[in-house]
Amino acid sequence: MHSSKGKGWILATLAITLVVLAPVATLLLRATQGSFDHWQHLLAYVLPTAVSNTLLLLLGVGVLVSVIGVGCAWLVTAYQFPSRRVLVWALLLPLAVPTYIVAFAYLDILHPIGPVQGLIRDLLGYTSPRQFRLPDLRSLGGAIFLLGFVLYPYVYLSTRAMFATQSASLLEAGRVLGASSRSVFFRVALPMARPAIAVGVSLALLETLNDIGASEFLGVHTLTVSIYTTWVTRSDLAGAAQIALAMLVFVLTLIMLERYGRRRQGFSHNQRSRRMQPQTLRGGAALLAICLGWLPVLLGFVAPALYLLNASFKYLDKTGAVSAQLLASAWNTLHIALLTTLVTVTLGLIVAWTLRRVRSGQSSGRLQGLLRLSSIGYAIPGTVLAIGLLGPLVLFDGLLNRLAGNGPGLVLMGSSAALVLAYSLRFLAISSGGIEAGLMRIPPSMEQAARLLGHGPAQVLWRIHLPLLRPAVGAAALLIFVDAMKELPATLLLRPMNFETLATWLYAEAARGTYEEGAVAALAIVLAGLIPVLLLARSQRNDRY
């Protein structure tokens, strides 16, 4: 790694890392330059509510995703019952529905004069919402409920993989010693799965912090919503930067606590150990397992998806076609997602390849840690990233204008390039992590043989590794494409004037209270999100356990 070619890869990755860290540096600079006079108002009227709502939301969502995710993972791993094979992958379907779309759908489904409450009143013999109505969904409890039933697959996916690989002999030893099935679960299986649960919960909480649409639709004033309203509504960019910086510290603290909590946890795994065989359930137990297993799928995916289908068909039947503006939003979404995928996969390939060469060259741990900072973008909420990018974008446009004389005006800030940059920085961790995992499956001896034959790093990557990395690159590209299609917070803050995506179109429709055409945009996003989920489900079908 000491050759000039190797240094070139390191310098390229360091440049990517600096670009990723630039928004954080800008936040620090802008926060210190702004006035702190408004903090008396923020501390008195804004932040107490926002901080308490955020903490309670995180606590509630964390508990709910843990209960649903771990419970469903154990259910389909430890027990055999009718529809289990379908349920194993169906439990992943809520991943296809962004949180703000679920809130959009349920606001209509559970409206006091909507279909659900109307049916309940008919069954109970009531004729007016004044006689009977369910608790208002526009509340902190409603937000916890909806986010929990959408984000639990993060916990389910990682925990089920851990349960499925646990040795059956350990569980059987507990039973031989007289422990009940419940005791074996809580005292043996659950402690061994704690690292997987922690990873899944942390991902769900990061998504909760990044959410802006669902929280605003449901009237929950969180830190993310405070950043948006402070900038857009009050035109106070410095104040928004200060709140964003405080939120970033909160996010990094959350990640450090998660890693600190499992710093001493490690497990040896014998690939030859006998895996746990599911216990067959019959009668009432089987029926209960079916109901408990399918309830999260029904609430997290089926109900909102059926609502969107019904609302879209009604709108299309009434109008005959979608509006030209919605078609333009769909095209904007498509081409931004494609550009983001191309850029992010390319950058991820550079980062992953450099990290592999750094490890094989036995470089210092500090250098490896510095290079891995390029993946921090995924931990930064979209609103925070957007605030931090303003400074570098304006600086670049200013330099370009000075170099070009009169200048072309706003190049990045006035175009969709700002969105591509923000998306790429945010989703770089998906690309580099997926490709790095693929590279770990390729033995170093292959590139060592190529280097002995005189091939440089670029030739080895292009001619040997890329063909072997097609599955990993394809999976990363698919996830990035779908995430870019449904990204809302960064899009709201960085989009050019008169530029709409499907996500912002839906946000505007919901804000106006016009749900008809918004349902078409939401359905398009959900259908796009189904692609990676179904591919992931296909791999789940091949799981024998």
Q: Comparing C-alpha atoms, which of 531, 333, 346, 367 is closest to residue 427?
A: 346
Q: What is the pLDDT of residues 123-154, one digit of tens each?
A: 888 877 777 788 888 899 999 999 999 999 98
Please indicate, yes or no, whether residues 380 and 477 belong to a single structural domain of this protein: yes
| Helix or strand run (H / E) with residue 333 | helix 324-360
Distance, in Å, from the CA atom of 402 to the CA atom of 408, rounded to the nearest integer, reads 10
Is there a domain that residue 130 lies in?
A: yes
Query: Over pLDDT 70: what percentage of the chain?
Result: 77
Model confidence pLDDT, tens digit, residues 346-369: 998 888 878 777 766 555 567 767
Q: Is pLDDT above 70 for 72?
A: yes
Q: Are 339 and 420 in contact (CB under 8 A)?
A: yes
Count of CB atoms situated within 10 Å of the CB of 447: 20
Whether residue 223 is found in the same domain as residue 354: no
* Residue pLDDT, tens place only, 164-209: 766 555 665 655 555 556 666 766 677 777 777 887 888 888 889 8
**316, 520 Cβ separation under 8 angstroms:** yes
* Spatial distance between the Cα atoms of 232 and 317, rounded to a whole number of angstroms: 37
The answer to whether position 350 is within a domain reads yes
Q: Could you tell me the CA-to-CA distances from 484 to 32, 387, 481, 508, 522 in Å, in that order?
A: 32, 18, 5, 18, 14
Residue 351 CB neighbour total at 10 angstroms: 27
pLDDT of res. 545? 45
Domain assignment present for residue 271? The answer is: no
d(CA 228, CA 235): 10
The domain tally of the chain equals 2
pLDDT at 290 over 90: yes
Q: Is residue 357 part of a domain?
A: yes
For strands 279-280 and 79-80, give the pairing: parallel
Which tokens in the block code for residue 85?
């094979």
d(CA 161, CA 492): 36
What is the C-alpha R_g of the chain? 25
Residue 275 lies in a domain: no
pLDDT for 177:
58
In a domain, 205, yes or no: yes
| Average of per-residue pLDDT values in the chain | 79
Q: Based on the fold, state whether residues 249 and 394 are members of the same structural domain.
A: no
* pLDDT greater than 50 at residue 270: no
Looking at the fold, whether 189 and 64 belong to one and the same domain comes out as yes
| 349 and 291 within one domain | no
Which of 229-238, 296-305, 325-334 is the most confident on average?
A: 296-305
The tokens for 329 are 């939003």
Lowest-confidence region among 62-76, 264-278, 307-321, 460-474: 264-278
> Would you state the pLDDT for residue 171?
62
Residues 398 and 482 placed together within one structural domain of the fold:
yes
CB neighbour list of residue 145: distance below 8 Å, 6 or more residues apart: 64
How far is residue 33's CA from residue 211's CA, in Å, rounded to a whole number?
Answer: 28
Is 230 a domain residue?
Answer: yes
Is residue 475 over pLDDT 90? no
What confidence score (pLDDT) does residue 435 get?
Answer: 79
Residue in the structure block whose two tokens are 């959350």: 254
pLDDT of residue 297: 95
Helix (H) or strand (E) holding 254: helix 237-261
26 lies in the same domain as 129: no
Q: Which residue has the higher pLDDT, 358 or 490?
A: 490
Of 93, 204, 103, give the one whose Cα is nearest residue 145: 103
CA distance 274 to 240: 55
236 and 351 fall within a common domain? no
Q: For residue 541, tell me if it sits in a domain.
A: no
Token readout for 67 is: 């209960």
* Higher pLDDT pick, 356 / 306: 306
Closest CA to 18 of 392, 397, 462: 392
Inform me whether the pLDDT recorded for 456 exceeds 70.
no
- pLDDT score at 375: 75
Same domain, 331 and 302: no
Q: What is the mean pLDDT of residues 414-420?
A: 84
- What the block records as the tokens of 52 is 């308490």
Could you report the per-residue pLDDT of 90-101, keeping only the tens digit for each? Answer: 998 898 888 888
Whether residue 237 is predicted with pLDDT greater than 60 in this model: the reply is yes
pLDDT computed for residue 464 by the predictor: 66
pLDDT at residue 262 greater than cutoff 70: no
Together in a domain, 7 and 52: no
Specify the CATH number for the domain of residue 117.
1.10.3720.10
Cα–Cα distance between 24 and 17 in angstroms, integer?
12
CA atoms within 13 A of residue 74's CA, in its CB half-sphere: 18
359: containing domain = 1-33+324-514
46/54 Cα distance (integer angstroms): 12
Whether residues 304 and 343 share a domain: the answer is no
Out of 245-254, 284-293, 388-397, the most confident range is 284-293
Per-residue tokens: 387: 């605030």
Q: Give the pLDDT of residue 343.
A: 94
Q: What percent of the chain lies above the pLDDT cut of 90?
A: 14
Query: Same domain for 364 and 485?
Result: yes
Residue 376 CB-half CA count within 13 A: 23
